[in-house]
């Protein structure tokens, strides 16, 4: 039978793993957002409002398709194509 101090140590390790897994997911999400914004750089300042709407769509896709990687990837790609289309039109 496992001793009480061993159980406490294992609990601490599990909590540490959970914390760092959550932190890693947040950092990966931030990198995805950064890559999206870099890929769809619009030079015009009038596109600021439009950029915010695309950002909201990005967050909506992320939350809606959180567990469906392929569908989320396709939705990201479609959103990026829309952004590029809007940014290239003058």
pLDDT at 23: 92
| C-alpha span between 60 and 52 (Å, rounded) | 12
Residue 39's pLDDT is what? 59
Q: Given this model, what pLDDT does residue 27 score?
A: 87
Q: For helices 48-64 and 69-88, what crossing angle results, to 10°? A: 170
Residue 90, pLDDT score: 52
Domain boundaries, the chain: 4-88
How many Cβ atoms sit within 10 Å of the Cβ of residue 6? 10
- The pTM assigned to this predicted structure is 0.47
CA-to-CA distance for 2 and 7, rounded, in angstroms?
7
pLDDT on residue 14: 92
Helix (H) or strand (E) holding 80: helix 69-88
Q: Residue ranges of the chain with pLDDT lower than 70?
A: 1-2, 36-49, 51, 89-90
pLDDT at 40: 58
């Amino acid at each position: 039978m496992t001793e009480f101090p061993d159980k406490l140590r294992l609990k601490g390790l599990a909590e540490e793993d959970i914390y760092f897994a959550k932190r890693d997911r947040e950092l990966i999400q931030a990198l995805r957002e950064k890559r999206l914004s870099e890929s769809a750089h619009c030079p015009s300042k009038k596109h600021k409002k439009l950029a915010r709407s695309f950002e909201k769509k990005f967050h909506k896709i992320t939350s809606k398709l959180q567990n469906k990687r392929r569908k989320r990837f396709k939705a990201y790609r479609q959103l990026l194509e829309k952004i590029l289309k809007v940014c290239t039109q003058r």
